Amino acid sequence: MAKVCQVTGRKRMIGNNVAHSKLRTKREFALNLKNKRYWLESEKRFVTLKISCKGMRIIEKNGLESVLADAKKKGLINLV
């Protein structure tokens, strides 16, 4: 899968490195993505997600069940 957070939907951004002489070259602003396993109590199994650190904070705040439901509605994850 691409470098996309499965909770927030954030992905890499493209920008420029700007030298002192104002010479511009392309660069990538990458996300801080982690592969994280969460225990899904309703299904009695682990779920592995590729999420950003902001996504981890959202899960801590709102709970895993509600975050996964929102991500399914947005089409960011496809859990079976």
The arithmetic mean of pLDDT across residues 12-40, rounded, is 96
Q: What residue segments make up the domains of the chain, in order of their start?
A: 13-74
pLDDT of residue 26: 97
Task: Kindly indicate the confidence band of residue 1, based on its pLDDT and cuts at 50, 70 and 90.
Answer: low
Q: 19-28: per-residue pLDDT in tens?
A: 999 999 999 9
> Taking the domain 13-74, which CATH number applies?
2.30.170.40
- The pair of structure tokens assigned to 19 is 């030298």
How many other C-beta atoms lie within 10 A of the C-beta of residue 21? 6
Q: What is the DSSP letter of 2?
A: -
List all residues 6 or more positions away from 77 whose beta carbon is below 8 Å from its beta carbon: 6, 49, 68, 71
pTM score, two decimals?
0.81
